Structures are given as structure tokens and as C-alpha cells.
């Protein structure tokens, strides 16, 4: 007879409902493969009367997550309520009660991961979080288990499905950002308030987690570069394509020779020949460079009910093994503390700049003189033909330079009388 694992589920939204539904649907399969049955015995929700796409017996429902922590029969608590403050209190209380915790909350881990991992080690109980990064892609398990023998040299990821869908539609159909965003919302890919997805911070929280897994450093949010896709235009995408590039919201985690860590998330021009350029719609992909294995690619659904619940269920299987073998925390310890983060101004890359300028003689000379004064190389300049006069776009491709120097040059360019709008700056990543 398969042993039963009693679960407390906090949150019955999209992902929580998927976990509950899929545990019931594939319960026999899980019992065969793990030797355990998983039973959700209590579910904490905010509104008992809310309509949901799963039916849960009323006796199992509560509006207070503390009931899950206080129940001695519950062995594992799954936190899927979202947010940071209440989720932090829940996870901390559950660990202090000696219960295994599974969470998909990337914002919680980005802000409080250092504290919660230390608490899990102190209490000798595991904290699992496969669902926090890239949905159904098993990137957490791969980095900490399959690649355990490698020094991680760099990670590049398309790790936000909403932004990737918007950029894909803009490139595929030539539509503008607002039209693509509205379509993403209509299809349920973007929330009514899509800020965290489109401003880059959802991906940034995931990048912070990947940096810790790879290097043992919890990078603070103010130490990383984060830009969203709100200012990417159809013109940017068209010109990038003519130059052989595709624009993606790219997360970068990279080890420098001085053992400092670079973490950033920004709209980035990547070569259209690179595998990441072909990752479209709501799919995610993560490229990991190890010193032994070389380049590895992980691709799949980055969000959604089934993809994310699959990751939670994988953590439940690990929790069952932990309970059966009683090995304790099993906290993953990266191979040494790598010091500190690279400051924003020190990060180096090539750049793409779009300037909206007056269409008159002398403008190009003014622009190039500013760039030369800041000792930045200019690799190409394109001025699309203007029909009927009016402001024109200047597209500039810059050689690699420190971001601080590029930012200073951009500030000076913005003040030129011939520049009519705020300049657009994006990184170029050639994966060298």
C-alpha cells in the first residue's frame, strides 16, 4: 500500500487549482512512481464563496492559512497565494513548525530567499521552489543536480512568457506594443495590471534566484539592471531584423573573471541565428553554460496552470522522498560565495540607440561628436527615409562600452536641441 502524504494548500487560484486537479487526475501514476499518495487535506482561500474550476469539499476549506500550519497531520505546505508580505509570514511559520514547504513565489524568494533558506537549514526541513522559475521547465533541478559538477559560467534566459508573446506578435505582424499587450490580455496571457511582466521585474526575480543557485550570492534588487519592454517600438523590431537581430526580453546571469556576478534583465538585440531568437509566443528558454558540459538549452512552457502545477508536483515527489528517507534539509549549497555583484555602470555590452531627431543638416555631426567625446565606438548608423518631412529616426549600433559611459553619453544626446524625444537604448548580446 502506498503511504499517504498530507498536504496543506495555500491558494486556490489558477496554479493552486491546477495542483489540486492534477494530483487527483494523476494520483495513481504518482503512487506507482513514488510509492506515495498525495492528499490535499486543507485548502486556505481568501473567499469561500468564489467560483472556481475545481470542486473542493467544504470541510477542507479555511480562510486562515494558520490552520494549515497548526494542523499536526499536515506534512507539506504548498504556498501559492502570491505577493510577498503574507506569503513570507506563511512560509516562515511553516518552516518554524518543522513542515516541508513548496513555493512558486519568485518575488518572495528574491526578497527573502537568504533568510528563508537559512531558516530551512536551521530547522532541518527542505524548502522547494522549482515552480518559481520558468514554469514547467525543470531549470532549478537541472542546475543544482544535473549540472552539479560544473562551474556555471553564464545563464541566458527568456523567462517571462507575457513579454515574449508581446514581442513575438509585434515582430510577426508589425503591430505596436499597445495592440500586442491588449491581445495578450484578451487571451489571458497578461493580467489587467501587467506591470511586473512588462517592466521586467518578474524576470528579474527569477534571475536573482538563478544567480543564487549558480553562485551562492543573493543579489539585491538595487544591484541589478532591469528594464521592461514598454518602450520597444515596431520600428525598433523592423530595423533590428534588417540588421540580423531579434529583440527579446533577456535575463543574463554571468560570472566575471574577478569572481563578481552580473545580473540584468533588459530588451536585448540577439542574433537571429541564435537558438533563443526562435523562442516565440509564451514559451520560455534558458541557456546554461557550464565549464564541463558546455552549452545546454532548456525549453518549454514558462507559465500557465498545467506547466506550473507540474513543477509543484515534481517538488511534492521530492518532498515524499525526503519524508520517507528522513535525510533532513537537503539544502542546496552553491560552491562557495563569489563575493559581490558587478555594479550597473561597470557592465559592458554593445548597444542599440534610436533617436528621434529633426530632419535638417548637421544633426548627424552633432550626434557623432557626443559619442566620440565619451570614447564610444560607432559601428553603424541608419536613417530611414522620411516621407513628407518632420522628425526622423536615427538608428545607431555601438561597440561594447561600460554602461556608465553609455548612460552619460545618452544623457548628453537627450539634451541636444535636435533630439525631439527621449532616446531609446537597448543592449546587444552576441553570446561571445
Handedness of CA 38, 41, 46, 47 (dihedral sign): positive
Quote the crossing angle between the two packed helices 106-123 and 201-215, to the nearest 10°.
30
Which helix or strand (DSSP H or E) is residue 382 part of?
A: strand 378-382
Place of cell 495592440: 179
Decide: 113 and 89 in contact? Cβ < 8 Å: no
99 catalytic residue (yes or no): no
- Which of these is catalytic: 99, 106, 206, 248? 206
Phi, psi of 297 (to 5 degrees): -125, 135
The length of the chain is 432
The C-alpha atoms of residue 250 and residue 227 are separated, in whole angstroms, by 10
CA angle at 283 for the pair 261 and 400, rounded to the nearest 5°: 40
- E strand residue ranges, 16-133: 36-44, 61-62, 76-79, 100-103, 127-128
Place of cell 516621407: 387
Please check whether residue 339 is in contact with residue 259, taking contact to mean a CB–CB distance below 8 angstroms. yes
Active-site residue list: 206
Amino acid at each position: 500500500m502506498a503511504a499517504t502524504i498530507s498536504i496543506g494548500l495555500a491558494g486556490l487560484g489558477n496554479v493552486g487549482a491546477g495542483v489540486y486537479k492534477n494530483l487527483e487526475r494523476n494520483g495513481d501514476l504518482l503512487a506507482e512512481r513514488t510509492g506515495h499518495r498525495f492528499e490535499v487535506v486543507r485548502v486556505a482561500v481568501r473567499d469561500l464563496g468564489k467560483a472556481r474550476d475545481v470542486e473542493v469539499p467544504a470541510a477542507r476549506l479555511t480562510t486562515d492559512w494558520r490552520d494549515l500550519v497548526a494542523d499536526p497531520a499536515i506534512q507539506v505546505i504548498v504556498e501559492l497565494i502570491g505577493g510577498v508580505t503574507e506569503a513570507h509570514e506563511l512560509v516562515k511559520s511553516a518552516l518554524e513548525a518543522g513542515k516541508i514547504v513548496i513555493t512558486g513565489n519568485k518575488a518572495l524568494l528574491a526578497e527573502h530567499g537568504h533568510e528563508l533558506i537559512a531558516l530551512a537549514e536551521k530547522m532541518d526541513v527542505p524548502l522547494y521552489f522549482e515552480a518559481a522559475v520558468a514554469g514547467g521547465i525543470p531549470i532549478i533541478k537541472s542546475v543544482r543536480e544535473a549540472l552539479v559538477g560544473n562551474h556555471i559560467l553564464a545563464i541566458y534566459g527568456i523567462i517571462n512568457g507575457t513579454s515574449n508573446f508581446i514581442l513575438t506578435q509585434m515582430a510577426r505582424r508589425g503591430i505596436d506594443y499597445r495592440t500586442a499587450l491588449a491581445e495578450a490580455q484578451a487571451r489571458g496571457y497578461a493580467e489587467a495590471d501587467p506591470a511586473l511582466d512588462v517592466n521586467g521585474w518578474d524576470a528579474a526575480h527569477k534571475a536573482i534566484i538563478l544567480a543564487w543557485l549558480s553562485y551562492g550570492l543573493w543579489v539585491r534588487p538595487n544591484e541589478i539592471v532591469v528594464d521592461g519592454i514598454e518602450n520597444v517600438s515596431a520600428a525598433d523590431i523592423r530595423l533590428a531584423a534588417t540588421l540580423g537581430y531579434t529583440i527579446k526580453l533577456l535575463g543574463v546571469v554571468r560570472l566575471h573573471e574577478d569572481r563578481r556576478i552580473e545580473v540584468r534583465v533588459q530588451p536585448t538585440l540577439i542574433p537571429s541565428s541564435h537558438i533563443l531568437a526562435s523562442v516565440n509566443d509564451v514559451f520560455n528558454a534558458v541557456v546554461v553554460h557550464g565549464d564541463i558540459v558546455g552549452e545546454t538549452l532548456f525549453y518549454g512552457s514558462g507559465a500557465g496552470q498545467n506547466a506550473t502545477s507540474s513543477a509543484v508536483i515534481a517538488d511534492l515527489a521530492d518532498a515524499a522522498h525526503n519524508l520517507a528517507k528522513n535525510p533532513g534539509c537537503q539544502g542546496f549549497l552553491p560552491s562557495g560565495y563569489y563575493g559581490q555583484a558587478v555594479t550597473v555602470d561597470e557592465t559592458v555590452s554593445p548597444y542599440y540607440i534610436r533617436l528621434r531627431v529633426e530632419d535638417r543638416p548637421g544633426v548627424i555631426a552633432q550626434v557623432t561628436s557626443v559619442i566620440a567625446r565619451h570614447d564610444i565606438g560607432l559601428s553603424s548608423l541608419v536613417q530611414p527615409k522620411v516621407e513628407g518631412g518632420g522628425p526622423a529616426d536615427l538608428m545607431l549600433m555601438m561597440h561594447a562600452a561600460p554602461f556608465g559611459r553609455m548612460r552619460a553619453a545618452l544623457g548628453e544626446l537627450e539634451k541636444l536641441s535636435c533630439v525631439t524625444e527621449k532616446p531609446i537604448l537597448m543592449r546587444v548580446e552576441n553570446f561571445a
